[in-house]
Structure 1
Amino acid sequence: MHILATELASLEEAETALDLGQSPAEVVVLSFSDSDLSALAAAWRQEAELLPSLRLASLKKLRHPMSVDLYVDRVLSGARLVIVRGLGGLDYWRYGFERIGDLARDKGVLFAALPGDDRPDPRLASVSTLAADKLARLEAYFRAGGVDNLRQGLRYAAGLLGRDLDASPAQPVGALTVLGAPADTRPQAMVVFYRANLMAADMAPIEALLEALDGQGLQAFAVAVGSLKDPAIQADLARLIEQRRPKVILNTTAFSALREDDTTVLDAADVPVLQVVLSGSAREAWEGSPRGLAPSDLAMNVVLPELDGRLLTRAVSFKAETAIDPRLEFASVRHEPLPDRIEYVARLAAAWARLGATARRDRRLALVLSDYPARGGRTGYAVGLDTPASVVEILSLLRDEGYDLGERQWHADDVERLLRGDVDHIEVRLERYEDWRSGLPESLQRDLSETWGTPAQGFRLPVLRCGKVLVLLQPDRGTRQDRKSGYHDTSCPPSHAYVALYAWLREQERIDAMVHLGTHGTLEWLPGKALALSAECWPEAVLGPLPVAYPFIVNNPGEAVQAKRRLGAVTIGHLTPPLSAAGLHGALAEMEGIIEEYAAADGLDRRRLSYLEDEIVERAWSNGLAVECGLVRDEPRRQAIAKLDAQLCDIKELSIRDGLHVFGRTPDEPRIAALAAATGQEASIRASAGHERKALIAALDGRRVAPGPAGAPTRGRADVLPTGRNLTSIDPRAIPTRTAAAIGTRAAAEVVRRYLQDHGDHPRTLVIDLWASASLRTGGDDLAQALAYLGVTPVWDAASGRVTGVEILPLAALDRPRIDVTLRISGLFRDIFEMQIALFDMAVRKVAALDEPAEDSPLAEAHRTGSDLARVFGSAPGSYGAQAADLALDGDWRTRGDLGAAYLATVTHAYGGTDSVRDAGAGFRDRVSEAEILVHPQDDRERDILDGDGVADFAGGFAAAAALLGNEPELYHLDTSRSEQPKARRLAEEVARIVRGRLTNPRWIDGMLAHGHRGVAEIAQ
């Protein structure tokens, strides 16, 4: 048996190496927690003359292996005791733990590796050199926390080094500490924060938040906890919630607090829990970042809290270093609140509390339909949703629940009149608008004027007034003459009319909440940071601190995330349209009948068989199916018929939508049966409409909406049903998952197989599209596929499932050459998956550095010749889309080359590497000009490549760009909707399959026509 040698590479190698410039000391403490380090510094200063010399450092600055090596050689090699308090167990900082463990054993240094959270990891004890009882004693000091306990911990450490100092045992602080005045008659707001902030006297953001909430008319109190998952606090906290009955909760703690039963201790309040971020980054980093937050903050303070159903607000404080203490060679880090972010969050909390306190009959609501993608007949569009019928369903629901809908009954015809502009218009006087506009930040006022000029008159905007509920259409982001700029162009501010409408709703109509109906509008795509918005981000400037409920199709987690994180919306998942097998119709149904007759005649009547063979093949040539199958004129008849039969089966089994979903309405029995056949979840499908209705009412009551995952129900995601839950995504650090890696490997093998079939050789270079929604739906099987082409597999942390690095497989294990892979990433992928971009970039560079022959590794050859190794490209930070489809449908273009040039013009930046992002448009041109394949993966059956213009934008734009550069690569559509059997087809084959199976199918056409305006819009698309 021969064991093949593999090579491991850790994500830590993607970080920047730092030299902290410290000198040795007797005791060194490293921790992820700034609170630990600040409290230790304060404790040491109290008895500095008695205690051993001390060095303190943050693990956040020691990510890179070279940083660890430098620190070990220059600081730890002179220490007598090293204490490291990690976060997430051994795998969080494996290289560091193991490197220090080796040093400790070689030089007799005492080493304590301690857990930094409530998840014990026995492996930490195994790398330590202290006995278990001593580790437990040290850990107790840190767990109790605070300056006094850590001073005793330092005294205990001194005793371990032989100093004659007594150390009292750790004195646990009460599990729950409540700050604030007793309850009065005002609505209550509860602020939850970490006890470590209290113990380290790092309370500035909490105090500022309490003061701002008080200024908004709320009676605020704060609760300090060690962890929301700590069983010791949960009973007391539940009692406190029962006593104080808060109308809103503001949570500043990180991570998820889900228990084994998928509940949290905060759920009992049945109110919105607003997630408030105390950022671990500096304010300057946030101000200069289009992403808004670093990957660690994104995971801990956004993604994981979303699993509990929390609503993201803003980052309200940032870390700032104090002056360096020359004795410790360390600068403590403290939270500094940002007043305008504190004020925004307090206003939003008050809005949610006010919503819940207002009687339903008195609530003023706006129900907003999108004008995206703003092409003829598609006004009021939403993916998979009959919006006019859904509006009527929602209005009926609101009336039944006690809302003021006026005297008359509302019908779909009323909504369709709104979409045509055939309703009453509201007037926004120019003077009033200018007054509202003057309240915008100066930079935004300047952007408006520079882009759109100064408005000459006021605005007339169509609104359907239904009692205290307004139904209206999102105005154009730009002008109707300038739609080619694209609705995902976040460099372009919204139009004056757009700003005027939202200002009118906020300031004049004084609405209490807004419902944005369907996937998706344009508000969440306006210019600004991806999350943790500032006052100069357009979504905040336009919307203001307003509660938003956003019904969203359940299979689109990526764009739901955009609404959640930029609008703070409760994204209420709704069912996908029912699916059915396309079947065959017309000439294809006739051909199937002849082939069945042919099969029955085989071996019985040779003369009849010959006649049927000729008939089948001639029909195939006359109706075009022969060309789609790749037949040639002199192909043997039996072989040709076998191909035709396979093609007919492929078309027949295509899943097509049978109509559209109506929010809150249970599908009819045949459609329930179709959905149940596709998902195996009949009971959950029947329950979904009721859940959707209850979730919307709960959100508008200012109550909690239970969280639930987003994903494609037809791809085995039974957990996304029933719908009607607040959509969540997955921890990006866990992508690709182990399951996704297996699927991605199969998918890569299928593409290689197809290229071998078409060309008789292995591919050497390819480009693959990566979209955020697909990655979130599948757990990253598209990224895993890209790694598989390289001959690389992910490496996971055994405990958390997070990806920590890659393993490079030897060529012998691949049984094929490595492929030079380029990622063309979407804007959302760029915003969400910074760590995955770094992972792939690292994998590329590790593979390129291998000593392998050019014929087996084009990347190794590129490295030897000094070529640029950038392989991750996308649009500029803050922008989205590829623009080719917009130009094709709306723009002034003359040749296909114009479309290719538009596509290339948007792919301007390379991502990953030490620079993280850099201008690199020429680099992508080179990758397109050399690519042998474009792979466009599709993982779900609910949509196909002719739904919308996304595939035309990315795949069509790529094809036009390649032609412009003199290249004719294969364009493969990779269908992974049946994950056990991926299927690669040429893009032209897939288009033909969809045209025959769906676009010309009477079943699909009839299903759409049943939905009137919206159905016709789907057909026109």
Structure 2
Amino acid sequence: MPTITMINGMERFNAHVWREVSALLQKDGVAVRILRFHDGHVRNHDDALAKAIAEADVVFISLINDREDADWLTAQLKRSGVRTVFAYESMPEVMGLTQVGDYRIDSSKNASMPKPMQAILRLITKGRDEDTLYAYTKLTKAASKLLPLMPAKLKDFRTWLSVNIYWNQPDAVNLSQMIRLILRDCLNVKVSVAPVRTIPQMGCFHPDTTELFADNNEYIRWALKTKRYRRGQPLVALLVFRKHLLQQQTYPNDLIRALESKNLAVLPIFVSGIEAHVALRDWVAKEKVDFVISTMGFSVVGGPAGSTRPGANHDISAEIMSGIDVPYMVAQPLLMQSLSDWKSKGVSPMQSVILYDLPEMDGSISPIVIGAIEDNSIVTIPDRIERVATIAERWVRLRRKPPQERRVAMVLYNYPPGLGRLGTAALLNVPATLHSLLTRLKKENYKVANLPESVAELTKRVSAMEGGQGDHVAFAVAQMREVIPDGLLRRIDNKWGAAPGEIAPKGRDAIRLDGFEMGNVFVGVQPPLGVPGDPMRMLFDHEYAPHHQFLAFYRYLIDVWQADAIVHVGMHGTAEWLPGLQLGLTGDCWPDIVMGDIPQLYLYPLNNPAEANIAKRRGGATVISHLIPPYARAGLYKQLAQLRAEIANNASLETVTGMLPELAPTTGEATPAYMARVTRYLDDLEQRLILDGLHVLGARMSRDRAQALLESTLDVPRSGQPGLMQHILEAGIDTASAPAVRAAFVERVVLGRDALDAFWRNYYGKSAPANLQKIVDHGREILVRLEESGDELDVVVHALNGGYVLPGKGSDPIRAGAAGLPSGRNIHSIDPWRLPSDAAMTRGVQMAEQLIAAHVAENGSMPETVALTLWALDTIKSEGESIGVVLGLIGAEPVRDGQGKIYRFDLIPLNKLGRARVDVVLDISSIFRDNFQMQLDLIDDLVIRAAKNGEPADKNPIAAHVAAMQKQGQTFEAATARLFTQAPGEYGTGVDMVVDESQWDNRADLASIYVQRSGFAYGGKRGGQAAQATYRSLLGTVEHVFQAIDSVEYGLTDMQHYYGHSGAVQLAASFESGKNVSLSYAESFTGKTTITKAKQMVSMEVRTKVLNPRWFEPLLAQGYAGATEIANRFTNVFGWGAVGDSVENWVFDGMAQTFILDEDVQRRFAAANPHAAKAAVQRLLEANGRGMWNCDPAMLAQLQQIYADLEDRIEGVVA
């Protein structure tokens, strides 16, 4: 009996169709054995599949787009000797397996089609590149007519094409005829073959009729006639896979019924997958739709076929969606995962790309998983279907309500409470932003009552809520029980006791919710997560539930106050970080429970797409990016300026070392050499970039304040061409004069009107290099996009009108330049199949070699193990530099498939590498885990192959360490683990949290907390299993810790995550090894990298930022929010003192003298935010009390008195 082995990607759910095919063939006496497999069998190298290929007469392959899968299939086919292979809809390496008689496909060309067919394709596309794939589907009709006319020499191509035509009409009747055709033409079986029964490639449908409608007009006429649609009724466009409709999957009908139950009419459209953009452009855009839902995932342009080039056509997608101008949502069943696998592990790496990465490039929002595979069928979850329908209903309601009737809640943050952080966010002046937002909404006819005239007045009302004082709502427990299901309340009661609980009771029968109403606007403070002062309760409770106040806050806003939309003001809150699945939340996950289905906007800095992804994927938010503050040069001030003058006047060695304690002479260093080094250090400090205040939403960056950004961005080499500074230096300007020349160039040529060539001739006496005009043009484009960024408030208003928010790549403006602008975009991540990029790989390898060289210079030998911290934030912005460092240390390189996707990391042979490999231990952020699961698996696979490759132990410490750990009783799987972070669905090392709340005794506590929280192994099949013992063993081998600093705005003293990650890794490694472990950083955002020790980096940041009037005066001028930023630096510097010895005594001395003991600064600091000023003094006192600072007794007494005075002021004892 002939055997046909079918291997079909994304088809684990249609066994019922193939049963019907078999029944039709058996009924007619057609003897054939059909063996069916899917992509999962290929990925697992399934023995039954290998046997089926070996026994096959014909192999049929579709939708296989993974190179590892392609390689395995190629090997199996070579072994089998099978002579007939059909391949469709797959990557070039798979298409190249095609073997039908004499017909072959050249995998290097993607296809080999006769010229007449190519001509028809060109006619169909009409010059639109995005329609190329769609044109293939249109060939069905043309091909059917051309087949009889094809010459005999094309008979094998005719067979391949004929089979494809049947395959693309995938009901049971056509598929049975396809099998007959293969038997007849390839195996000489005498069977009849009926003509293909053509089914439209795209059209409309409805569960109440078996009719398929040719287009939107035909469907709308039917819907009006049958009263499925009334003119003026809200209309939702729904896109589904044609194959799923033809094969009678139930989820499209389930969604239609759910939407119709909300009084939403539906325009249901089926497409084969690659015509979605055509349906949207040519049909949906012509109807007055209110919402678009795609159940397909992938990119709008190209669909599954286009996924081999993610993002290639996203500009066209955005243009199409902008024309429709309604929210675009993806709600998809998981086609490659079982129901149980999804509910236990969340969304798999491949599914994540389909559901999140690709659609987000097109501007999708609120992704929902509606089902998965069970018993070879797509099974939907009723509450997920209902969630999709209610999200659509709420967005439509918001869109159709007049502005004066819309109710909008503005959510602010205060975590941890008591430190002056209420109403603050990263890089954003929240009170000023809130005032701008409310003023604009009032102008748009929203009902905004009692809006203070000034930011200061609004700030006063907001800050009055600190410590549970000021405006609040008493939410009755009885009312809360009406809107929160009993099952949820029991989950909370089990953790926190009966409501109202002990967190924020208002008497015995109510809960206090901080906030106040301003007409149809509610300004509320998100409750703190967990128990202030008891972070351990949250850190080590894997069944953690939010307390009553947290859930009550959102349920009050949504169900009682009846908000139509929520705006989260700045980065970031905590709701999206609650426990639950990492991705693909179910109704049991806390973020889904808390946020519900309400439309929400989230204001996020444009340079942080990593955390913005969490807000979108776990919080269901529509992200609107805002600008970061302007950059400025640090310059020299006070003591540093005086030091420059002293050196010019031949200062003594004692004078210089006394004024610059962080830069002592090295042993044997001559005084002139030391003075030259000090001069270079001062030059570096002077030119370092700092932030100039905070951003206010909608504020345009003035041209003069854009100067430093332009200089730094234009310095970055691009497309293999040198940057501005390199051009200046190559022209012969000395390094001391070059910054002034660059500043003049930007000011006069880019910002001004001077002609480029005239300027260059004036300085150099010759024509400007050809590439320099591109640099000027790029600078001017940046200026245009900065001007467009002033439209941020317009975008918020447009989103609240139910409009579409354009997507934009989240990135660092220095690295990305104009490509990272404008703001006011729904920012997204990058293509995970292409990480690291070629440029990032080059830079990463350079950093790896610099790190090795620095370690050898200090220690005299190569490091055996380097621990690295990898964040999603820097990975996205640098396009994978840190991954490049990992590969550089190990001695490996990416390998790409025919579509340019990276499918494996290969070891570089030792003789080519020229040195020993370096073992790595990777502290990955939980957001990296959620965003880059694919990279985790590639690195894990690389480590396993390195452990097995048989190289000498002295050249391969990975293999040596694995062998040693196995001797200690660890399994091979445990010993090869190298990727560690928190348990699935949990976030943060916990170190920064306990430091923030002063809930630790000694450094051993911090090291233990770090390992306990972060000792969960990932990569391959691990999935986050507890592996603290393995992690401790590996940390004991670490000799150096490294992390890249990805941008100006996030340095070591700017945020707590550096000491909470790489600082904690150094601490834990030192405890486990019993040795001093080095910690180094590299600032890579300017294109020039230098390896710098942590202590030196902290000192440089304190000099250029914290103690610098050029940094803190603009913050003080911004009042409340600026004062909070200053106080945050006290905590972050203190954090470095907590985890190690990176903070010298002069740092705390300088901070105390600059902000607390200087009466003028202290007065302004305390007037702006007394809680922040108190927190700053409290950190200094704690630093002294814990022995990290040896404070002068007189100074200590002054600080204690000032602290007492601030306490009295806050408590109202003194004015």
Alignment partner for residue 1029 of structure 2, among 910, 918, 922? 922
The answer as to whether partners of 2:832 and 2:932 remain within 8 angstroms in 1 is yes
Q: Tell me which residue corresponds to 2:993.
A: 886
Q: Tell me which residue corresponds to 2:1196.
A: none
Q: Which protein is richer in helix relative to its size?
A: 2
The answer as to whether partners of 2:42 and 2:73 remain within 8 angstroms in 1 is no
The answer as to whether partners of 2:264 and 2:393 remain within 8 angstroms in 1 is yes
Rounded to whole Å, the distance in 2 between the matches of 1:489 and 1:665 is: 43
Q: Deviations over 1:6-43 (max 9, x none)?
A: xxxxxxxxxxxxxxxxxx96111111031676544422
Alignment partner for residue 631 of structure 2, among 575, 579, 583? 579
Q: Where do 1:297-696 residues align within 5 Å?
A: 297-321=351-375, 333-374=376-417, 376-406=419-449, 408-412=451-455, 413-421=457-465, 423-439=470-486, 441=488, 444-449=491-496, 454=501, 456-483=508-535, 491-595=543-647, 597=648, 612=650, 615=651, 617-625=653-661, 628-629=662-663, 631-632=665-666, 634-679=668-713, 680=779, 681-696=781-796
Q: Deviations over 1:521-578 (max 9, x none)?
A: 1111111122221121112212211001111001111110000011211101111111
- Determine whether 1:44 maps to 2:22: yes
Q: Tell me which residue corresponds to 2:247.
A: 200
Rounded to whole Å, the distance in 2 between the matches of 1:239 and 1:115 is: 24
Change beyond 3 A, Cα 1:490–1:1000 = farther
Q: Tell me which residue corresponds to 1:123.
A: 96
Q: Tell me which residue corresponds to 1:942.
A: 1049
Alignment partner for residue 821 of structure 1, among 920, 944, 948? 920
Change beyond 3 A, Cα 1:825–1:941 = same
Rounded to whole Å, the distance in 2 between the matches of 1:656 and 1:408 is: 34
DSSP-derived class of the 1:63 partner? helix
Change beyond 3 A, Cα 1:313–1:823 = same
DSSP-derived class of the 1:482 partner? coil
DSSP-derived class of the 1:43 partner? helix
Q: Deviations over 1:87-138 (max 9, x none)?
A: 33x737321342244246xx35311222259x99863447996543322222
Greater CA drift, 563-572 or 402-411: 402-411
Q: 1:633 deviation in Å?
A: 5.8
DSSP-derived class of the 2:1036 partner? helix
Q: Where do 1:280-291 residues align within 5 Å?
A: 280=335, 281-289=337-345
The answer as to whether partners of 2:240 and 2:294 remain within 8 angstroms in 1 is yes
Q: What's the TM-score, normalizing by structure 2?
A: 0.75
Q: Tell me which residue corresponds to 1:10.
A: none
Query: Which amino acid letter does the alignment assign opposite residue 267 of structure 2?
Result: F
Q: Tell me which residue corresponds to 1:191.
A: 238
Change beyond 3 A, Cα 1:659–1:442 = closer
DSSP-derived class of the 1:379 partner? coil
Which runs of 5 or more structure 2 residues have no equivalent in the other structure?
104-155, 207-222, 302-312, 503-507, 714-778, 968-974, 1129-1215
- Determine whether 1:268 maps to 2:323: yes
DSSP-derived class of the 1:62 partner? helix
Q: Tell me which residue corresponds to 1:113.
A: 87
Q: Tell me which residue corresponds to 2:807.
A: 707
**How many residues are treated as equivalent by the alignment?**
955
- Determine whether 1:75 maps to 2:52: yes
The answer as to whether partners of 1:563 and 1:571 remain within 8 angstroms in 2 is yes
Q: Tell me which residue corresponds to 1:846.
A: 945
The answer as to whether partners of 1:675 and 1:682 remain within 8 angstroms in 2 is no
Q: Tell me which residue corresponds to 1:21.
A: none
Query: Which amino acid letter does the alignment assign opposite residue 367 of structure 2?
Result: T
Structure with larger RCO (C-alpha < 8 A, sep 6+): 1
Rounded to whole Å, the distance in 2 between the matches of 1:92 and 1:153 is: 29
Query: Which amino acid letter does the alignment assign opposite residue 189 of structure 2?
Result: R
Q: Where do 1:151-162 residues align within 5 Å?
A: 151-159=176-184, 160-162=186-188
The answer as to whether partners of 1:191 and 1:251 remain within 8 angstroms in 2 is yes
DSSP-derived class of the 1:112 partner? strand
Change beyond 3 A, Cα 1:145–1:819 = same
Rounded to whole Å, the distance in 1 between the matches of 2:299 and 2:93 is: 17
Q: Tell me which residue corresponds to 1:215.
A: 261
Alignment partner for residue 173 of structure 1, among 199, 216, 225? 199
Q: Tell me which residue corresponds to 2:41.
A: 62
DSSP-derived class of the 1:960 partner? helix
The answer as to whether partners of 1:708 and 1:728 remain within 8 angstroms in 2 is yes
Rounded to whole Å, the distance in 1 between the matches of 2:37 and 2:82 is: 24
Rounded to whole Å, the distance in 1 between the matches of 2:705 and 2:1006 is: 40
Rounded to whole Å, the distance in 2 between the matches of 1:95 and 1:951 is: 41
Q: 1:408 deviation in Å?
A: 4.3
Rounded to whole Å, the distance in 2 between the matches of 1:881 and 1:462 is: 26
The alignment yields a C-alpha RMSD, in angstroms, of: 2.5
Q: What's the TM-score, normalizing by structure 1?
A: 0.89
Rounded to whole Å, the distance in 2 between the matches of 1:559 and 1:629 is: 37
Query: Which amino acid letter does the alignment assign opposite residue 181 of structure 2?
Result: Y
Q: 1:56 deviation in Å?
A: 3.4
Q: Tell me which residue corresponds to 2:107.
A: none
DSSP-derived class of the 1:263 partner? helix
Change beyond 3 A, Cα 1:743–1:567 = same
Rounded to whole Å, the distance in 1 between the matches of 2:82 and 2:492 is: 65
Query: Which amino acid letter does the alignment assign opposite residue 252 of structure 2?
Result: I
Q: 1:390 deviation in Å?
A: 0.3
Q: Tell me which residue corresponds to 1:15.
A: none
Percent identity at matched positions? Answer: 26
Query: Which amino acid letter does the alignment assign opposite residue 419 of structure 1?
Result: S
- Determine whether 1:94 maps to 2:70: yes
Q: Tell me which residue corresponds to 1:31.
A: 8
Q: 1:446 deviation in Å?
A: 4.7
Rounded to whole Å, the distance in 2 between the matches of 1:176 and 1:488 is: 52
Q: Tell me which residue corresponds to 1:139.
A: 164
Q: 1:641 deviation in Å?
A: 1.9
Rounded to whole Å, the distance in 1 between the matches of 2:170 and 2:620 is: 34
The answer as to whether partners of 1:113 and 1:128 remain within 8 angstroms in 2 is no
Rounded to whole Å, the distance in 2 between the matches of 1:410 and 1:114 is: 65
Change beyond 3 A, Cα 1:478–1:918 = closer
The answer as to whether partners of 2:500 and 2:510 remain within 8 angstroms in 1 is no
Rounded to whole Å, the distance in 2 between the matches of 1:176 and 1:392 is: 49
Rounded to whole Å, the distance in 2 between the matches of 1:271 and 1:767 is: 46
Q: 1:827 deviation in Å?
A: 1.2
Greater CA drift, 402-411 or 556-565: 402-411
Rounded to whole Å, the distance in 2 between the matches of 1:253 and 1:380 is: 40
Q: 1:187 deviation in Å?
A: 1.0
Query: Which amino acid letter does the alignment assign opposite residue 83 of structure 1?
Result: F
Change beyond 3 A, Cα 1:273–1:128 = farther
The answer as to whether partners of 1:579 and 1:678 remain within 8 angstroms in 2 is no
Rounded to whole Å, the distance in 2 between the matches of 1:920 and 1:1015 is: 42
Q: Tell me which residue corresponds to 1:1006.
A: 1113
Q: 1:312 deviation in Å?
A: 2.9
Query: Which amino acid letter does the alignment assign opposite residue 182 of structure 2?
Result: A
